[in-house]
Amino acid sequence: MLKGVARSAHLALGEDELDRYCTDLNGILEGFSIIDDIPGEGAYSLNSVEVADVLRDDVAGIFIDPYELLKDMRTYENYVRGPRLL
């Protein structure tokens, strides 16, 4: 297994290095195995503050009269004209 990981990481490891790292990796994985024995699995969440959907529903509507906005602008058939782009 460790040979495949080393190959994927483009590491050229010798047999003695593979043996040493394999022993170290097994020790690390055994250390993490105590997490499996923790009681109350699933009883706690990582976030102490409850996350809830606080967004409001959008209501489509026109709140400002568009003709009132356009009355003081230079328009052409109710389109605002801007400078010519090159």
The tens digit of pLDDT for each residue in 52-81 reads 777 888 888 878 888 888 888 888 888 888
Task: Please report the pLDDT score of residue 45 as a whole number.
Answer: 63
Assess if residue 26 is contained within a domain. yes
On whether residue 5 sits in a domain, the answer given is yes
- Three-state DSSP state, 86: coil
Domain assignment present for 12? yes
Domain for residue 32, yes or no?
yes
Query: Domain range spanning residue 7?
Result: 1-36
pTM of the model: 0.37
Give the number of domains in the chain: 1
Range 25-44 average pLDDT: 78
Q: What is the pLDDT of residue 41?
A: 57
Give me the pLDDT at residue 59, please. 84
Which residue stretches of the chain are H helix?
A: 2-8, 15-32, 66-70
Residues 42, 46, 48, 53: is their CA dihedral positive or negative?
negative
Any domain includes 45? no
